[in-house]
Amino acid sequence: NSELIHSYKGVPFPTRVSIDQLSALDDFEAREDDVLLVSYPKSGTHWLVEILKNLYCCTAGQMTLTPPLEFQDPSKLCELRNLPGPRVIPTHLPQNMVPRQVHSKNCKVIYVIRNPKDTAVSMFHYYKQNPHLPTVQKWGTFLDLFLNGEVVYGSWIDHLLSWERAETNGNTLFVYYESLKKDLPKYVQEISSFLGLRVSEEEAREIAKRSSFREMKERVEREKEREKPEATHTVCALTSDRKLIFRKGAVGDWKNHFTTEQNSKFEALLGDRINSSELASNVEYEC
Ligand code: A3P
Distance CA 125, CA 131 (A): 12
The band of 226, judged by pLDDT with boundaries at 50, 70 and 90, is: low
Work out which ligand 1 atom sits closest to the CA atom of 41.
7
Is 65:190 a contact under the CB 8 Å cutoff? no
| pLDDT mean over 184-199 | 96
Tens digit of each residue's pLDDT (9 = 90 or more) over 97-109: 999 999 999 999 9
pLDDT at 9: 96
Which residue type, as a one-letter code, is found at position 247? R
Question: What does R_g of the chain's alpha carbons equal in angstroms?
Answer: 18
Hey, what's the torsion of the CAs at 122, 145, 69, 114, to 10 degrees?
Answer: 40
Q: Whose CA is nearest to atom 24 of ligand 1?
A: 213
Tens digit of each residue's pLDDT (9 = 90 or more) over 132-146: 999 999 999 999 999
| pLDDT mean over 87-113 | 96
Q: Give residue 219 CA to ligand 1 midpoint distance, Å.
A: 14
Check whether 153 has a pLDDT greater than 90.
yes
Q: Whose CA is nearest to atom 17 of ligand 1?
A: 249
pLDDT at 73: 82
Catalytic residues: 92
Q: Whose CA is nearest to atom 14 of ligand 1?
A: 249
Mean pLDDT rounded to a whole number for the chain: 93
Tens digit of each residue's pLDDT (9 = 90 or more) over 34-74: 999 999 999 999 999 999 999 999 987 889 999 999 998 88
ipTM for the predicted complex comes to 0.99
Which residue type, as a one-letter code, is found at position 283? V
pLDDT at 95: 96
